[in-house]
Each structure stands twice: as C-alpha cells, then as structure tokens.
A = this chain, B = another copy of it.
Amino acid sequence: MDLWIDAEADEAPRIPLSRRRVLRAAVAIADRDGLDALTMRRVAQELGVEAMSLYHHVANKEAVLDGVVEVILGEIFQAVEQAGSPAPGDDWRGALRTRILTAREVFLRHRWAPQVLTSRTTTSTAVVAYYDGVVGILRAGGFSFDLAHRALHVLGSRALGFAQELFDPGAAATEDSAAMAEQMAEHFPNLAGMLAAHDDPDGTLGFCDDRFEFEFALDLILDGLDRRRTGS
C-alpha cells in the first residue's frame, strides 16, 4: 500500500504553485474555453489544487486579470524582439506599422484578450512600457511631444493591435438570407446596398478581410499623423 501511494506521488510530482503558474493556467483556460470559463475555481482545478490555494500567490481575481495582461504584453514584447530592429531605411511609419502588426498577431492568438485589456481600471506597467516604446518611435520620427501625445489618442487600442468593431456587416449577412435581405432592403437601404455592391462569389463570405481592414485603417491614420507632423 505504501508502495502504491509512493508511486502515485512520483507520477505527479508536486510542482510548487507560483504566481507565474497561476497566470499561465488562467491564459490557457481563456484560450481553450473563453473568458467566462476563467474562474478562480477553474484555475485551481487546472493546477490540481483547491481554489483557496491560489490566494497565497495572487491577491484576488482582479489581480489575476492584471497578471494576465502582463502575460499578454510579455508575448508582445517577445514577438517584437523576434521581429528584430527595423530595417535601416525604415522611417517612423514603417517602424510603427511593423510594431503594431506584430503586436496584433498576439491578439489573434488570444481573441478574448482585448476584452480583458479594456476592462482594467488601472493601466498596468507593462502597457505603459509598450506605449513608451510607441512614443519613442514617434519622437525618433520627428514628432513633438504634443503631437505624439495626440497620436496615442488617435490610435487608441489600435496601437496595441486591436480595434473594437461594433458592427460586422459580414455577420449580419450570414443569417439565412432570402427573407432577411428583403427586410434589410426595406429598413436599412444603405447597408443593404453596401452588401449588394460587394460582389463576392461566395455571397458574403470573406466580405471583411480582418487584416486588410486593419491595415487600411492603420495606414489612413499614419498618413494623417504624418500630415500633421509636417504641417502639409
């Protein structure tokens, strides 16, 4: 009997709990089952531990969410580092564009992350550090501090690589279509026209190419900032 118990203990040697392990488990759960599944009890279960044990390593659930933000920004910094320093010929536009699109990749891996980021009431140090880098790029490109400041406001969350869309024309059209299209045409003639004008062979699939739309918006903003910078 003692042997059997020892064997089991060997099979699953207890790795000590730590803040880091708690946060990584939290991210794993959100990735797998969504943000609603991210509960203290579920994190504990993932770690083979009782829920109350978590409180020795994090103050409370809010602290877990703050920590999750740190993890996500850690991934962004890592991705930025891997992408390497900007090509020598790169102006501020190219450098900022690349950084933002690199950061965006991380949010594509963690679709729930924007919601967590925007729910935080205090700005985490990691986010501050990221924005410091953005301002650094702008300054190197000849921006005044004032214009750099405004640039942060214009970019908003897009500086980190995501934008919140409140309305997805593609989604509206995926509902089963015939009667729906008529309703649309009657009540929302402009949107109906927009959908009709887009002659996608599949009907509506791929109407919104996320990457294309994101880059279009980003470039429009970078254009605008450059104009403000040069005063043209």
Instruction: Give chain A's interface residues, CB within 8 Å of chain B.
Output: 115, 117-119, 122-123, 127-129, 131-133, 135-136, 139, 144-146, 148-150, 152-154, 156-157, 159-160, 163-169, 171-172, 187-191, 193-194, 196-198, 208, 213-214, 216-217, 220-221, 223-225, 227-228
Contacts and interface: CB of A to CB of B under 8 A. Distances in A.
A166 B129 contact: no
Contact of A188 (B117, B132, B169, B227): B132
A78 to B, nearest CB: 19
Given A115-B119, A150-B216, 11 more contacts: A123-B166, A123-B171, A127-B166, A129-B188, A132-B187, A132-B189, A136-B190, A150-B217, A153-B213, A154-B221, A156-B217
A191 to B, nearest CB: 5
A167 to B, nearest CB: 5
Nearest to A135: B190
A223 B227 contact: yes
12 contacts: A115-B119, A117-B166, A135-B191, A135-B194, A148-B190, A148-B194, A153-B165, A156-B217, A164-B164, A221-B221, A223-B224, A223-B227
A169 B191 contact: no
Given A152-B169, A172-B123, A118 B164 contact: yes
A115 to B, nearest CB: 7
A198 B149 contact: yes
Contacts of A139: 190, 193
Contacts of A117: 166
A114 to B, nearest CB: 8
B149 A157 contact: no
Contacts of A167: 123, 127-128, 131, 152
Contacts of A136: 189-190
